[in-house]
Amino acid sequence: MSKEIIKIEDLKRSFTMGTETVHALKGISFSIKKGEFVTIMGSSGSGKSTLLNILGCLDQPTTGTYEIDGLRVKDLSKNQLATIRNEKIGFIFQSYNLLPRTTAIENVELPLLYNSKVSTEERKSRAIKALEMVGLGDRFHHTPSQLSGGQQQRVAIARSLVNNPVMILADEATGNLDTRTSYEIMSLFQELNKKGITITFVTHEPDIAAFSNRTVVLKDGNIIKDYMNENILSADRELAKLPIEED
């Protein structure tokens, strides 16, 4: 449980907008160990999404080092980054980003299509397993437009799981969902975390952060707080406390 999945040191990221330079991250350092469920908190513009994009190898830091699973990202080519995204990271977006008019199972299979080591049969069975894991065992052939927001996000979670990543990165994964569905999704994340999957979750809602075991708070590109949660709430139990909706 002590292996470091992510290690960043003095990470900076600045964007040039015309003549102005915006410093989104001003030199942050921390590490995430295997099996942790970390939420990165912060208000809008605090740099949390920038951080997550860098963690997800979707973006490169301006300076500083970032190691994922022992690999220094700075030294890698675009293609090697793609391979890391494919094999080590599962990314979940606020807006789900599913392929339209494509069935759940095909959406989940997508990352495996870019992994030539996985055969057609294995791809299919892994997609089915991932969908069953997120509780969509009966929705294999539904397209995104036939699914609710929560179900779409479950498909996205299944897609992030299918390549057996060392870490799942979620960017405001509950941002578009109502409280009840959010809790359902968080319960799913807690369940996955119990199975040993490392999760990094970006959010600006404190009640969501309460479900994780560690919270990192960003402000203006700096870490202002990094604490272990003493009192981790169970999403299942919180869900039960919610008033039952009337039809």
Partner 1 sequence: MRLLNLLKIAFKAIVLNKMRTLLTMLGIIIGVASVIAMLAIGEGSKESIRSNISSMGSNIITIRPGADVRGGVRGSASEMQTLTFKDYEAIKEQSTLLSYISPMVNGGGQVINGSSNWPSTIYGVNPDYLKIKVVDLQSGSMFTDAEVQSAAKVALIGQTVVDNVFPDGKEPVGQMIRFNNIPFKVIGVLEEKGENTFGQDQDDVVIAPYTTVQKRILAIDYLNQVMASAVSEEDAPEAVTQVTEILRTQHKLSESAEDNFSVRSMEELISTFSSTTEMLTILLVAVASISLLIGGIGIMNIMYVSVKERTREIGLRMAVGGKGSDILMQFLIEAILISITGGLLGVTLGLGATVFIEKFLNWPTSVALYSIVISFAVCAVTGIFFGWYPARKASSLDPITALRYE
Stretch that binds partner 1, among 17-25, 54-62, 126-134, 185-193 (CB under 8 A): 54-62
Residue 241 sits in the site that holds partner 1 (CB under 8 A)? no
Binding residue (CB under 8 A) for partner 1 from 31, 97, 125, 164: 97
User: For the chain, what is the HEC assignment?
Assistant: CCCEEEEEEEEEEEEEECCEEEEEEEEEEEEEECCCEEEEECCCCCCHHHHHHHHCCCCCCCEEEEEECCEEHHHCCHHHHHHHHHHCEEEECCCCCCCCCCCHHHHHHHHHHCCCCCCHHHHHHHHHHHHHHCCCCCCCCCCHHHCCHHHHHHHHHHHHHCCCCCEEEEECCCCCCCHHHHHHHHHHHHHHHHCCCEEEEEECCHHHHCCCCEEEEEECCEEEEEEECCCCCCHHHHHHHCCCCCC
- Is 79 one of the binding residues for partner 1 (CB under 8 A)? yes
Minimum CB separation of residue 11 from partner 1 in Å reads 16
Q: Which part of the chain contacts partner 1 (CB under 8 A), choosing from 14-22, 77-85, 172-180, 188-196?
A: 77-85
Question: Residue 239, interface with partner 1 (CB under 8 A)?
Answer: no
CA gap 30, 223 in Å, rounded? 9
| Binding span for partner 1 by CB under 8 A among 39-47, 52-60, 183-191, 217-225 | 52-60
Choice between 2 and 77, CB closer to partner 1: 77
Q: How far is the CB of 47 from partner 1 (least distance, A)?
A: 14
Q: Shortest gap between Cβ of 81 and partner 1 (angstroms)?
A: 9
Q: Is 56 an interacting residue with respect to partner 1 (CB under 8 A)? A: yes
**Residue 47 interacts with partner 1 (CB under 8 A)?**
no
Residue carrying structure tokens 């999403």:
235
Contact pick of 78, 195, 243, 246 for partner 1 (by CB under 8 A):
78
d(CA 153, CA 21): 35
**Shortest approach of partner 1 to residue 15 CB, angstroms?**
11
Please report whether residue 164 would count as binding partner 1 according to CB under 8 A. no
Task: List residues near partner 1 by CB under 8 A.
Answer: 53, 56, 58-60, 78-79, 82-83, 85-87, 91, 93, 97, 99, 101-102, 106, 110-111, 113-116, 159, 163
